[in-house]
Structure 1
Amino acid sequence: MDPITAVTHADPYPYYASLRARGGLAFDPGLGLWLASSAEAVAAVLAHPQCHVRPVHEPVPRAIADGAAGRVFARLMRMNEGERQRCPRAAVEPGLQQVHAEEIGQRVCALLPGLPSDIGARLHDCQFHLPVAVVAALLGFAAHQLPEIAELTRDFVACLSPASHLAQRDAAHRAAEHLTGHFAVLLDRAPISPLLQRIVDGFGAQGRDSLIANLIGLLSQTLEASAGLIGNSLCALLNDRQLLAELRAAPARIGDLLAEVQRHDPSVQNTRRFVAAPCSIAGVTLEPGAVVLVLLASANRDPQLNPHPDRLLLEREARRSFSFGNGRHQCPGQALALSIASTVIGALVRDPTLEQPIGWSYKSSLNGRIPLFTTLPESH
């Protein structure tokens, strides 16, 4: 196993523990990467101003730089530093914080009846379609547009992986063009939705292209954050039928489950940072051009961060986690993702079809831990 294949391994956490035992920040000659595996090292890398989200010489991946997906990528706050990151974030984050959980719940419940009855397809749509549709509806898209917006978002997200192939990149360029057009039409309507109005007001004079790119970014982050969070929460429940029964009896504890799952088995296992200038972290000097693989999932289970880290404890005190990032690049939509996932899991917990035999494997990915569910034949 290595830090890349660990992401989709059935149980990567003993391996992460072995990395922490070798030192919080260590070089892997096979991968040509520095590995930050301890909570201390991960926190230091994420906070250091010389550890950037993109290489200085390649702000946009070469594979998509010349197309519509590349133009969107170049303006995403999550893929930038300095003012190009701070200003869009300052516009988007306050608007998201004013979305009430009750409204999110209503949006989810309105979409649930339209999901497939087959449990495998139902779980798939709960992970990949419904969360994006909820955010798209909050932004003002009409009900008949939501399936298309969700599909386009999924096509766009594929190009964000370095492992994407040509057909995926071509589809991502088309998706970026279509999403840009849909948002342009939406912005020209009057009135626009309360959430969209707050974001527009926050952007001010930053420019329409940046606004639209970061609205697309909001949808793409929703998909990535929600698919794994919902899926890994279901895995926890399917692995522990007693816990499933307890949550059916006390659904108010679903929020505790989600808070613990995002720490215990996070959907984003790692992220990368690129060293822009010489710096010293955890007693190690890093040179410009060095790449650090930041093992968020390993840090979450560092006993220096959380006592008894390998236990899934709904009532964990002072829970700490890097799953939604840390510092300047911390995810601004964390509360939104948790609210969507809470309502979805609440509905699924009540679904008797979860009693069927259900299996899963993990979606191929370099950093995302997202289970894909299938129904299994009944055993006799």
Structure 2
Amino acid sequence: MDMTIIFDPRDPAIRTDPYPIYRRLMETDPIHRSHFGYWVLSRYDDVDAVLRAPGVSSEFYRNTTWADRRGGLDSPLVRSVRSWMLMLDGPAHRRIRSVISKVFTRASVERLRPRIAAETHRLLDAVGDGETDLIDSLALPLPVTVTCELLGFPTHDRDQCRRWTEHISRVIDPSITIEDTADMNTAEVEFREYVTDQLEQRRAAPRDDILSLLLHTEVDGVRLTDHEIIANVLFLFVAGHETTVNLIGNGLLALLRHPDQLRMLRENPKMITDSMDEITRYDPPVQIVSRLLTDNVALQDVTLPEGAKVMLLFGAASRDPARYADPDRLDLTRTGIRTLAFSGGPHYCIGAALGKLETAMVLTELLRRYSKIELAGENLAWRPNVSFRGLQELPLRLTR
């Protein structure tokens, strides 16, 4: 078998419709040794096992090739990533997560509901009837506004924060270019300068926001350093913004392509919140993450060796027929869902509940306002990032 043609993250088909490729991997080579040096895992049980195994590291910056492609270990971007909660293991990860988790409790997220609702109403009031690009008019501005609100950043800075975030988010993408690396590092320097200024303002006069909390909260008597705070503010924008934008766009597209399921939500709007796990499973906003093995990890058929680089295909695992019956069908009555779309184990996404709340509120308001929601075109363009799967545009025709 010619392994080189089975999985290549640079393949344009991975962006437009990766699921036939994922299915081929699961059926023919589920523990695939790729030509670029990674083990690529597509089955649900294998992906889940690696996420939870003790001999697995998220500190991918320790891989020289990975770091060099992003500017080198001492580049602005990689220096930042080295302090991201996402990219840390063990005590270092737990220390930062214990501070940030204070913000993302169930009660804290629920307190955001009125603000999310108000911003959703404001954005849809501006949309009105007729044709619109839902990504540009709603899905992009909403989560960045919510994140700015959490951190206490001025809302008039949200567009600039969004532009920085879109560049920096390419850091985990396996298919970056030299130009991407330059843009990511430039964006990191500019965003860092902005957050540094905001941090100095909080130091002089604390406020009721995350930035002040991060500045003054102690873990075992030790506060986060300014570098750690700034790095994880950038991470919060990347994680919260990119995931939610894609969840809104992918979720609505899936419903439009399954009109029976959309009709079910119209008739039973109280189902929307409970439907989020299935919507997330069907077309996950995060498709690919990578791990380094610090010990041997035994899977069903193979023991992966210490030192291996592993690529986990969340999108494939979410469509594994061994885990989900008829996995290529959106079924909002499906039960027993344990999606890996927000990762798993110690690195389960701390903001998953917030992203699902934002998406549920958007869907609720769209269905309340509009009697008909239609695609205004079928030639959809997907964003170039293959780790985060999302639409560049979602052209809609909205009728009250």
TM-score range, shorter chain: 0.7 to 0.9
Cα contact 2:261–2:330 (8 A) shared by 1: no
Distance change in 2, residues 1:35/1:51 (3 Å): same
CA separation of 1:100 and 1:279: change in aligned 2, threshold 3 A: closer
Match of 1:64 in 2: 71
**2:54 matched to 1:49?**
yes
Q: Is the 8 A contact 1:60 1:74 kept in 2?
A: no
Q: In structure 2, which of residues 381, 385, 390 is the aligned counterpart of residue 370 of structure 1?
A: 390
The residue number in structure 2 matching 1:2 is 6
Structure 1 letter corresponding to 2:6: D
Q: Distance in 1 between matches of 2:190 and 2:347?
A: 27
Q: Which amino acid in the other structure matches residue 71 of structure 1?
A: R
- What is the deviation of 1:135? 1.2
Count of aligned pairs: 375
- Percent identity of equivalent pairs: 26
Q: 1:250 to 1:202 in 2, by over 3 A?
A: farther
Cα–Cα, structure 1 residues 14 and 168, in superposed 2: closer, same or farther, change >3 Å? closer
- Please give the residue correspondences for 1:276-355 in structure 2 after superposition, counting only pairs within 5 Å: 276-352=294-370, 354-355=373-374
Q: 2-side partners of 1:182 and 1:193: how far apart?
A: 19
Cα distance, 1:248 vs structure 2: 3.2
Q: How far is the alpha carbon of 1:351 from its aligned partner? A: 4.9
State the 1:60 CA deviation: 6.5
Partner of 1:99: 108
Report the CA distance between 1:99 and its aligned residue. Answer: 1.9
Task: Measure, in 2, the Cα distance between the counterparts of 1:77 and 1:60.
Answer: 18
Residues 188-224 of structure 1 show CA distances to partners (whole Å, capped at 9, x for unaligned) of 3323224444444156423121011111101110122
> Could you tell me which of 281, 285, 291 is aligned with 1:263?
281
Greater mean deviation of Cα atoms: 68-77 or 247-256? 247-256
For the pair 1:128 / 2:110, whether they are aligned, the reply is: no
Rounded to whole Å, the distance in 2 between the matches of 1:140 and 1:343 is 22
State the SS of the aligned residue for 1:322.
Answer: coil
Aligned position for 1:25: 31
CA–CA distance in structure 1, aligned partners of residues 233 and 218 of structure 2: 13
TM-score, length basis structure 2: 0.83
1:160-193 alpha-carbon deviations (Å, 9 max, x no partner): 4343334433333332233223323333332322
1:336 and 1:247, CA in 2 relative to 1: closer, same or farther beyond 3 A? same
**Contact 1:271–1:293 under 8 Å retained in 2:** yes
Distance 1:31 1:123, change over 3 A: same
Tell me which moved more, 85-94 or 187-196. Answer: 187-196
CA distance in 2, matches of 1:361, 1:48: 36
The answer as to whether partners of 2:101 and 2:350 remain within 8 angstroms in 1 is yes
Kept after mapping to 2: 8 A contact 1:256/1:315:
no
Q: Secondary structure at the match of 1:358?
A: coil
Q: Structure 1, residues 291-334: CA drift from partner, whole Å, max 9, x if none?
A: 22212222222344334433322122221111100101111111
Tell me, in whole angstroms, the C-alpha distance in 1 between the residues paired with 2:271 and 2:356. Answer: 13
Q: Is the 8 A contact 1:229 1:258 kept in 2?
A: no
Offset, 1:255: 1.8
Residue equivalent to 1:184: 196
Contact 2:41/2:47 (CA < 8 Å) preserved in 1? Answer: yes
Describe the SS at the equivalent of 2:298. Answer: strand
Q: After TM superposition, list the pairs within 5 Å mapping 1:138-287 onto structure 2.
A: 138-187=150-199, 188-189=201-202, 190-200=205-215, 201=217, 204-287=222-305
Pairwise CA distance, 1:365: 2.8
Q: Which amino acid aligns with 1:286?
A: L
8 Å contact 1:137–1:146 — kept in the other structure?
Answer: no
Question: CA RMSD for the aligned pairs?
Answer: 2.8
What stretches of structure 1 of length at least 5 have no aligned partner?
Answer: none
CA offset at residue 50 of structure 1?
Answer: 2.5
| Cα distance change, pair 92–271 in 1 and its aligned pair in 2 (3 A) | same
Q: Secondary structure at the match of 1:306?
A: coil
- State the one-letter code of the partner of 1:368: F
Q: Which moved more, 1:79-88 or 1:155-164?
A: 155-164
Decide which moves more: 56-65 or 313-322: 56-65
TM-score (norm 1): 0.87
Q: Equivalents in 2 of 1:376, 1:133: separation in Å?
A: 22
